[in-house]
Structure 1
Amino acid sequence: MQKKMRASRRFSLVFLAGLAAGVAFAADDVVPTNDLPNPYRAEKPWGKLPGERAWGAVSAVAVDNDGRSVWVGDRCGPHPKTPPGVSAFAWDSCAESDAHPIHHLSPEGAPLLSFGGGRFVFPHKVFLDKAGNVWVADNRSPNERELKANPASAGRGHAVYKFDRQGRLLMTIGTPGKAGDPPEGLNEPNSIAEAPNGDILISEGHSGQAPASGPGTVARISRYTKDGKYIGSFGQWGYGPGEFRTPHDIVFDDQGRLLVADRGNMRIQVFDEAGKYLAEWKQYSRPSAIALANGKIYVADSESNGTYAHPGWERGIRVGDYKTGEVLYRIPDVDNFKGTSSAEGVAVDAQGNIYAAEVGARQMVKYTAK
């Protein structure tokens, strides 16, 4: 454990130097940050849906601007024909369902509002902007099996939607049902973030970590004005600085720096507000989601030694000191079954409670301090 902690601190100093100097660096010899304390207890499953509907695969969670209530996106309940032993990722979707997949839950987990039925295929991330509007990324179009079962779903997916707090649609970015390039289209939108000046950034490209991916696979960050006018994009598929293999989540810190969960490359990349590469962090393993709160960084790793292995690293949520980068805690995967488990989405409320959205386990988990 001493060796692991020293490695984390050494990486912290390099990271801070990289941010200050605005230079690229790599640290491929990072020791896995597994053997760390876990000062949290789990409440699972947490949260209820209207009518006691069962959760589908859950990857989207965000704390409301009130700091207490929670927004969650699930994939419309477990598919009734999912074969035994097959992952929720492969089957759960909203393509064959009119169930509402976007939910506002009270601090106690009671349902307050649900909406979005008949609009989505694959809700991936939920984001609250400063005005309290609810943004949702619908990551993909229906597959062949889903289209055959419900041809009407052909016009869904590859789009980002902005809703008001009552679920009324305010804006659509992309062309629903058609993968494409900006300004008309999006391709596998993953996550949304709001820049300090109000611009909206969208990370695109979910397929970049697949074994068959390569140059030409979409992996970029696209920027729009708050009114939805396309400004430009940066990034491409690859392993180098400023390149991505599935930019799975994005978030701005309070200094205007953009953090990208570059999941396929098993790192967090950091950019200035204009998209200039500053540094990278590898001590948080294979990041699916990032949350910043209370001076800490919370990173969900849902895939290490699961669907996509990261040898030597264990899944879970890693919590670190954002100022130094030191990894302080690891919350282990509470179920630890094969495939994608643990948290794929993560959010933190004003009291420091952690909310985990789990795809494989089809549940929400709330972590509180012991």
Structure 2
Amino acid sequence: MSVVLGAGEHRYRVVEDWASLPDGWEFRDVAAVAVDSKDRVYVFNRGRHPMMVFDREGNFLRSWGEGLFRRAHGLHIDRDDVLYCTDDGDHTVRKVTTEGKVLLTIGVPDQPAPFMSGRPFNRCTHTALSPTGEIYVSDGYGNSRIHKYSPDGKHLMCWGTTGTDPGEFNIPHNIAADSEGWVYVADRENHRVQVFDGNGKYEAQWNNLHRPCALYCCAGAADPLRFVVGELGPGMPVNAHHPNLGPRLSIVDGDGKLLARLGGHDGPGEQVGRFLAPHGLAVDSRGDIYVGEVSYTNWSNTFPGKPTPTYLRSLQKLEKVVA
């Protein structure tokens, strides 16, 4: 019997073992996922084959990026099916075709900015695009900054510093932008999503989230604005076994109002219908959700002292249930 998460119009069936990998291959941690205009799925992961491409049924198509990426972290795809790959291991953002050809590199590989200097980049995390093609980069683990670039990679401006006040960040982990130019930042360790205009002016914040890690804006031309938020769940031994903190997915509207929660009440786990560490999200043309999880990275935090299994699930597909 299949497992269904959510309720009402936000119901999703868990598709077990969706991706068919070549013999001997594995994802390890899936840091990010993207879906192109033909519903091909790009899986940006920390295994030996950093970018794996599948059709919507999970059939393997190709891989690329071997020898190029140091540590997969963020992935965004634009309306022309061009990918923006954020590598927090070598402190760069690469603009790449769906065949793996690098068109633009922002940042200097293996030359991080000084820690908390505010200069790009120190372990950048994700990218988003404005309606006119400006590139926003969340930066990240070694900075508390959002950078804005022109479409050709010229640095335009930046905002943010470390802290808890509006406009300040404690690990800006993910970023998204909508069709009107508003910018949304998953301020992970401040347990909120902050909303800005395109030039960094603070507008609002969404609370009642637990370590928002993944952030995906999903709105078609005729659809209401909504977001899927991947919440990482407990991060310290003191609350590792507390119920109802995640890890989970939350679906919210354009004002941050909660519409549905998928999973999370029973805590982390490998069981069907539960999550370990949702880190990257994408939604295809039919409304199905792809969830990348950094399961290996988070195992020791989730289950302190327990040996890491040989295999952990790092990618799930949630198929939208149509009434």
Q: Which residue of 1 aligns with 2:93?
A: 160
Pick closer, same or farther for the CA change 1:308–1:104 going to 2, 3 Å: farther
Q: Using the alignment, how far apart are the partners of 1:186 and 1:356 within structure 2? A: 26
Matched, 1:318 2:261: no
Identical aligned residues as a percent = 32
CA distance in 2, matches of 1:44, 1:248: 28
Gapped runs of 5+ residues in structure 2?
A: 296-311
Are the equivalent residues in 1 in contact too, given 2:120–2:139 (CA < 8 A)?
Answer: no
Counterpart-to-counterpart distance in 2, 1:114 and 1:308: 40
Q: Could you say which residue in structure 2 is the equivalent of 1:363? A: 314
Q: CA RMSD in A?
A: 2.6
Aligned to 1:114, the other structure's residue is in SS state strand
How far apart are the structure 2 equivalents of 1:349 and 1:179? Answer: 34
Amino acid at match of 1:221: I
Residue 335 of structure 1: CA displacement?
8.2
Query: Matched residue of 1:237: which SS?
Result: coil
Partner in structure 2 of residue 116 of structure 1: 65
Q: Which is bigger in relative contact order (C-alpha 8 A, separation at least 6)? A: 1
Whether 1:190 aligns to 2:125 is: yes
Deviation at 1:197, TM superposition (A): 1.7
Q: TM-score, normalised by structure 1?
A: 0.71
More strand by share: 2
Matched, 1:129 2:78: yes
Please tell me whether residue 170 in structure 1 is matched to residue 106 in structure 2. Answer: no
Q: Where in structure 2 are the equivalents of 1:1-370 lying within 5 Å?
A: 37=7, 39-66=11-38, 68-76=39-47, 99-140=48-89, 157-180=90-113, 185-206=120-141, 218-294=143-219, 295=224, 296-304=226-234, 313-320=245-252, 322-333=253-264, 336-337=268-269, 341-360=276-295, 361-370=312-321
Residues 276/122 of structure 1: CA separation in 2 closer, same or farther (3 Å cut): same
Q: For 2:103 and 2:135, how far apart are their aligned partners in 1?
A: 14
Instruction: Give, as a single letter, the amino acid of the residue that structure 1 aligns with 2:126.
Output: S
Q: CA deviation at 1:325?
A: 3.3
Give the superposition deviation at 1:45.
3.1
* Counterpart contact for 1:258–1:273, Cα < 8 Å: yes
1:264 aligns to what SS in structure 2?
helix
Task: Check the 8 A contact 1:48/1:111 in 2, yes or no.
Answer: yes
State the alpha-carbon separation in 2 of the partners of residues 206 and 238 from structure 1: 13
1:308 and 1:202 map into 2 onto residues whose CA distance is 32
How far residue 365 of structure 1 moved from its aligned partner, in angstroms, is 0.5
Unaligned 5+ segments in structure 1 are 1-34, 77-98, 141-156, 208-217
Q: Name the CA shift for 1:324/1:193 in 2 (closer, same or farther; >3 Å).
A: closer
TM-score, normalised on structure 2?
A: 0.80
How far apart, in 2, do the equivalents of 1:122 and 1:307 lie?
A: 26
Task: From the two aligned structures, give the one with the greater helix fraction.
Answer: 1
